[in-house]
Structure 1
């Protein structure tokens, strides 16, 4: 049986393992931590198709709205392939920040595990297939809290 392996896959895998190897060699990460990070992938959460299922897969039974979460992003995104989104919170003891896009085929767009020493702030770019509500889901003291923002995606980047 012949395995198919593309050039792109080789470059992506090589770059990721090369960077991880540098961190291990520099003493910033132990080999056990590197393996633990690789095993920490929550495939079930990234396979969910709605907000409630995502919350459950992230370890919560439900979630509550919070005014202590700030979700930033454009009101209108001219390119749905790269929509800038940021999340900041003043909630205490944050252990996880997730970004969810309601109308994407897979709801969970990004998930960040936070250490106790990290400032609870993340920024990234997400892909949106259409106009949708975007949710910031924050785990604080074992409970999930959310904030939402509607982001409109224009067709053809025309801005209207």
Structure 2
């Protein structure tokens, strides 16, 4: 039987080996601070490398409730059938920071994601697919919030 101390020691050794070999997750490198700090939809998309004005597209799907009972946990899902998509982006227009989530997509990843977001007030929500050529295609839905989640 292994003691707690032995387990902790072995865990520390494994973490050290992973960090030393470069296999430890590098979450900080994937964080786009400028995009997440953007106060507007255009600012967030520009920071993510989307060129030009986004265009509405039937190939992008956004699933969101018409009315969110609790703005602290609003379920949102986005997907696309567009080819050559490099990122899927979720934006909430009236949140203090517009960008909610960025999902990097490759040929090995199906561009379909679900998450939950805080919403401080009723707002338009955008699902944006950014293609390899930098074009942004979006779907939009208004979500009414009855109880604010961003400190409201």
Using structure 2 for the length normalisation, give the TM-score: 0.78
Which residue of the other structure, out of 57, 63, 70, is the alignment partner of 1:79?
Answer: 70
What does the per-residue CA deviation read over 1:45-89, in whole Å, with 9 as the maximum and x for residues that have no partner?
000011111110110122111110110010000000000000011
SS of residue in 2 equivalent to 1:109? strand
Q: Structure 2 residue aligned with 1:150, among 132, 142, 145?
A: 142
Structure 2 CA distance for aligned equivalents of residues 126 and 115 of structure 1: 24
Q: Unaligned 5+ residue runs, structure 1?
A: 1-17
RMSD between aligned residues:
2.2
Structural mapping, 1:1-160, within 5 Å? 21=15, 24=18, 31=22, 34-35=25-26, 37-62=27-52, 63-142=54-133, 143-155=135-147
Q: Distance in 1 between matches of 2:44 and 2:28?
A: 20
Distance 2:106 2:23 in 1: 17
SS in 2 for 1:116: coil
Q: For this pair of structures, how many residues does the alignment match? A: 131
Report the CA distance shift for 1:88/1:152 in structure 2 as closer, same or farther (over 3 A): same
Structure 2 CA distance, aligned partners of 1:122 and 1:41?
Answer: 18
CA distance in 2, matches of 1:105, 1:50: 9
Deviation at residue 140 of structure 1 after TM alignment: 1.6
Contact kept, 8 Å, 1:66 with 1:147, in 2: the verdict is yes
Q: Distance in 2 between matches of 1:123 and 1:67?
A: 19
Which protein shows a greater Rg?
Answer: 2
- Unaligned 5+ runs, structure 2: 1-11
SS at match of 2:45: helix
Q: Report how far residue 33 of structure 1 moved.
A: 7.4
